[in-house]
Amino acid sequence: MCNHYRQAILKGAIIPGWSIDQFSEIKIPVRFDNLPEHVYPDKPGVVFIQKGDGIEATSMRWGFPTVEELRATRVTNARHVMNKSGPSPYWAEWTGPEYRCLVPATSFFEPDQRTVGTGAFREVEFARADGLPFMFAGMWRPWTGVRGTKKAPEEGEHELYTFLTTSPNALVKPLHSKAMPVILTTWDQCETWLNEPIDEAIQLQRPLPDHQLAIVEAT
Could you read off the pLDDT of 33-74 as tens digits, one per residue?
778 899 999 999 999 998 887 888 899 999 998 765 444 467
Q: Which of 61, 29, 31 is nearest to 44 (CA)?
A: 61
Question: Distances from the Cα of 166 to the Cαs of 30, 136, 151, in angstroms?
Answer: 31, 11, 35
Q: Which residues pair with 137 in a beta bridge?
A: 102
What pLDDT shows up at residue 36? 87
Give the CA radius of gyration of the chain: 17
Low-confidence spans in the chain with pLDDT less than 70: 1, 10-13, 16-17, 19-27, 30, 67-73, 218-219
Rounded Cα–Cα distance for residues 187 and 17 (Å): 6
Rounded Cα–Cα distance for residues 155 and 87 (Å): 30
Fold designation for 5-216: hypothetical protein yedk fold (3.90.1680)
What pLDDT shows up at residue 153? 79
Question: Distances from the Cα of 33 to the Cαs of 102, 138, 149, in angstroms?
Answer: 20, 22, 19
Which stretch of DSSP H or E encloses residue 56? strand 54-62
What pLDDT shows up at residue 68? 56
Q: Which of 129, 118, 117, 136 is nearest to 171 (CA)?
A: 129
Question: Distances from the Cα of 53 to the Cαs of 7, 56, 120, 142, 195, in angstroms?
Answer: 25, 10, 49, 21, 12
